[in-house]
Amino acid sequence: MSALRKRFTVSTAASCPAGTTLASTEKSSVQSREIGAALQLALRRSKLTQGTIAGRLGWSDSKTSRIVTGYTAATRLDVASFLVAAEVAPEEIERVSAVADLSPRAYSIQAHPVGLPDMLPTLLHLGANAHTIISYQPHQLPHLTQTAGYTETILRDSDLLAPQAVLDGASARQKRQTILSGPKGPATTAYIDEAVLSRPLPPQVAAEQRLHLRTLVWHPRCHLRIIPATAASTATTGFTLFQDDRGHEVVTAFTPTAMLVLDHPDHLAPYRQTITQLASRALTDTTSAVRLLASGTFGGATAC
């Protein structure tokens, strides 16, 4: 047996008898669903069946199913054992096990490089499993609508990141946007403050960003809506609401160096209220499109 297997293999008969679980909760949470999604991916890549993994670990079918579907909060030991049985790479075992090891509070506040929540696997998970996405950024274009050049410009202007970190961050943001191009991509609504469109950009960046917005405007599942400068102020940080096909809702709220992950109804309510306000103040899709593609957007001199 390899050193890796010795490190992670446990006596499941002693620590978790068949038919029992080590769940800290029986309620599905965003944390348990993220772990479950990682285990499902490992299962598909291994080409093993769920029953085979359960047999290797001495788990009941019920326990295995609830962990994989996210309806049981698995322990770090459960996660590591499952991934070892699925013959997953050591670095992925460490990453997913670390997520399982987080307390709910620690999971709900995730640190990241300045301005770059895109580096967090949780954000990738939420986007990849979303049926609906609603986003708002008060001081820049919503992340899923940005070109790489726009992102690099915004990050460089902060003067807080090394050049390589800027490039890595822009690449990570572009990777997140691939969910919009898939055949079953989420219905996405992005609210944009009109003042953001007046921020001057380098000519080439401005032209590329307008061209990208034109593509999104014609996207059947994307809705870009402008909040006019004359509308009442919406005092909020940037945030995104994700809803999956089972109706689970999660909000990610952004600070400069941390992302809040919220799924309790009491925590979701203020953001739901803000979305209602934004929807009532925003221009229609058609009127917004005319403004977004205007030649003066981002200080551009020519139409794209």
Domain assignments of the chain as residue spans, ordered by start:
3-102, 108-299
Tell me the mean pLDDT per 10 residues along the chain, length 304.
Answer: 42 36 56 95 94 95 93 92 95 95 94 94 94 95 97 94 95 94 89 94 95 94 94 81 95 96 95 95 95 85 40
pLDDT of res. 231:
83
* Domain 3-102 indexed as CATH 1.10.287.1770: no
pLDDT value, residue 10: 36
Give the helix ranges, DSSP H, for the chain.
3-8, 12-15, 30-46, 50-57, 61-68, 76-85, 90-101, 104-108, 121-128, 148-158, 163-176, 203-217, 265-281, 285-292
Whole-model pTM: value is 0.85
Q: Which DSSP state fits 58?
A: T
**Sheet-wide strand order for 222-227:** 109-111, 258-262, 249-254, 239-243, 132-137, 187-193, 222-227
Q: Which helix (H) or strand (E) holds 225?
A: strand 222-227
Q: Domain spanning 108-299 has what CATH number?
A: 3.30.870
Number of helices (H) and strands (E) in the chain: give both, helices first: 14, 7
**Burial of 261 (C-beta count, 10 Å sphere; 0-12/13-18/19+):** buried
* pLDDT value for 300: 55
User: Helix 30-46 crosses helix 61-68 at what angle (to 10 degrees)?
Assistant: 110
| pLDDT number for residue 15 | 37
Q: Are strands 239-243 and 249-254 parallel, antiparallel or unpaired?
A: antiparallel
